[in-house]
A and B are shown apart, each in its own frame.
Chain A
Amino acid sequence: MKADDQKRLLREMIFFRRFEDRCFEAYMERKIGGFLHLYSGQEAVATGVMEMAKPGHDYVITGYRDHVHAIKSGAQPREVMAELYGKETGSSRGRGGSMHIFDPTVNFMGGYALVGQPFPLAAGLAMGCKHKGTDQIAICFLGDGANNQGTFHETMNMASVWKLPVLFVCENNQYAIGTHIDRSTAVVDQYKRVCGYNMEASQHDGMDIEEVMPAAKKAVDYVRSGKGPYFIEFMTYRFRGHSMSDAKGYRTKEEEAEWEKRDPIRIYSAKLREKGVVTDDEIKSWEKEIDNELENDIIKFAEESPEPRVEDLNKYVLDDNPDPRWIGPLVNEGV
């Protein structure tokens, strides 16, 4: 990989971290409502996997921890932020919020709050690609906890039987809210769980983007070549609570400190510094630029955008403009 690309990737990850930090602040200021699930700590996974796929071309779908996946797919950060602010300019016109970011213009097909629901939807997106005969694939990012849903098993089976072009990316951060995987899941290594469905699978370090990318490339190429689905597991950690209401009482300071040493941004910047690709000063200047962009463009846009109009409450429930031939109303003769 070229030095320029390496720099871009590191800068992107720093951007994602600071974007999420800024969301945290906006939430504390009560500018963002509802549930807010931040991605800090897991950046290497979405960044590395999407770097090896075709963002904007391949379909991406995920759960509620979805801001970074949307942006890496090509959604405009200011539209994502405006969505968190519930504004009409938001990526879901203020109707979705943090857990339901959508941007079909870049084939980001949504964040979903029901744990496990995206599995079949992802297989359906893949079925659509296959049906249309395109070279697109569907990528489904979900947590380890989601694998205990029935949809996981049903979907792995169908995806495998029908050889659908879908890549399942398990972001194993070891916790489902406050329950450690040891206490909820009989098979701790998630990639092993799909062997019952005759599916290719592998497990990798999710904190080092240089480990993520080659593994992801192999998986993406496999799926794109038409061989069928692939299940890839990345071992990772979220640095913040599950959501904003989570005090993290279920984990120890020691455990957190251990994982913090494996901060994906720290690891990658150390590697790039060592190779002489970046300097501390350069990183500092990026941080300034990013903060500036966040404040003076992204947040400003969200703050200044209009709210949806109350008169539009019922908009988007059904097709606004259906063909009268099949929508009616029925003509009652002789009434």
Chain B
Amino acid sequence: MAETAYWEAIRRAHDEEMANDKMVIAMGEDIGVAGGTYKATLGLFDKYGAERVIDTPISENSYTGIGIGASMVGVRPIVEIMSINFALLALDTIINAAAKIRYMSGGRVQCPLVIRTPGGTAHQLAAQHSARLARMFMSTAGLRVVTPRGPLDAYGMLKSAVRCNDPVVIIEHERMYNMKEDIPDEEFFRPLEGAEIVRHGTDITLIGYNYNVHLCLGAAEKLAKDGISAEVLDLRSLKPLDREAIRRSVEKTHHVVIAEEDEAPVGVGAEIIATVTEDCFYALDAQPIRVHAADVPVPYNAKLEKEAIPDVEDVYQGALKCLGRI
């Protein structure tokens, strides 16, 4: 067991997978000589060389497409896109190619590609560096979308993603790269599917993914002081979604709050609440609540930025509302 930062966990997974299989390569802007914006590939250029740790030009759509082409012939690329905002430039090749090639070739060609990208709001980066596009990938058939909430998953899910034969989008978060957790020294894998209960409770289910899980955990602490037992469910995978786990938890607590950093319209929360209503409507004792970002481009000003995105207090208040305490 060693205390490991999120970025170190990702780096370790890269390193082990590249050592294990020559077909694994990494590509993206500044990931080689410079070691990556968030240090996720630090030192790997020296270890594996320029042919396997590839510094790309600023051409998101095409270098992602190159990754897809290479994956079609047996290479297993891990593509880093510096910010999910820039993944918008690559949406054509991700949504129209990677996600569809298996299907439109009748299962004859596959794209075992991994795309890693941070998606979230952090440190006054303003509108064009604070996009949260989880919902966009979540609504695309043919992709797997995972959101590791800590180093354990960041390491284990990246390793699984590299070995999975489907295109996997891993959404990280700018505010998590320095987050630490003990992770085993031996190699391990974390599955790409399945939600996880990270805190057991009986009165209310708080659902999160990615960074929002930590908001839910913070809110659960506060609720505990009020004598309320909150269960926290980390979705982990947005696609496929573990509907079973959501249903089981809601049938136990009869109350549900979903915390998301995306704007609410057509967001992850909208999908979760639709799922709850479809799967376990009669288990609900109260109306489900969405805790979400304001429907505005994220402002630069720190006070406004804080107001625009949900925090622990917002999730806590959402829970109280759901429980009829306010």
Contacts and interface: CB of A to CB of B under 8 A. Distances in A.
28 contacts: A94-B106, A95-B104, A96-B104, A102-B105, A102-B109, A110-B101, A117-B65, A117-B92, A121-B66, A121-B68, A121-B97, A131-B51, A131-B75, A138-B69, A158-B59, A322-B166, A323-B163, A323-B164, A325-B189, A326-B160, A327-B164, A328-B192, A330-B191, A332-B197, A334-B197, A334-B200, A335-B197, A335-B200
A150 interface: yes
B159 interface: yes
A124 B163 contact: no
A121 B108 contact: no
A117 B96 CA distance: 9
A93 B106 contact: yes
Interface stretch (A168-176, A225-233, A266-274, A312-320): A312-320
A310 B97 CA distance: 24
Which range contains the number of B residues in contact with the other chain? 35 or more
Contact of A127 (B69, B166, B192, B245): B69
Interface string B35-74: 0000000000000000100101101011111111111111
A103 B72 CA distance: 12
A320 to B, nearest CB: 7
Interface in A65-82: none
Contacts of A102: 104-106, 108-109
B229 interface: no
Contact of A120 (B68, B108, B110, B237): B68
A121 B61 contact: no
Given A92-B104, A151-B62, A154-B57, A328 B96 contact: no
Interface in A92-150: 92-96, 100, 102-104, 109-110, 112, 114, 117, 119-129, 131-132, 138, 150
A161 B72 CA distance: 22
A120 B165 CA distance: 20
Contact of B93 (A59, A117, A162, A331): A117
B262 to A, nearest CB: 23
A331 B141 CA distance: 25
Contacts of B84: none
A90 interface: yes
Nearest to B105: A102
A317 B142 contact: yes
B173 interface: no
A155 B108 contact: no
Nearest to A157: B57
B105 A315 contact: no
B61 A131 contact: no
A157 B93 CA distance: 18
Which range contains the number of A residues in contact with the other chain? 35 or more
Interface string A292-335: 00000000000000000000000111111011011111111011
Contact of B164 (A110, A128, A322): A322
Interface in A160-194: 161-162
A257 to B, nearest CB: 38
B174 interface: no
B129 interface: no
A319 B62 contact: no
Contacts of B67: 124
A333 to B, nearest CB: 9
Contact of B69 (A95, A100, A124, A154): A124
Nearest to B103: A316
What are the 10 closest A-B residue pairs judged by CB atoms, nearest first?
A124-B69, A93-B106, A328-B191, A120-B65, A330-B194, A326-B160, A154-B62, A154-B59, A128-B73, A329-B194
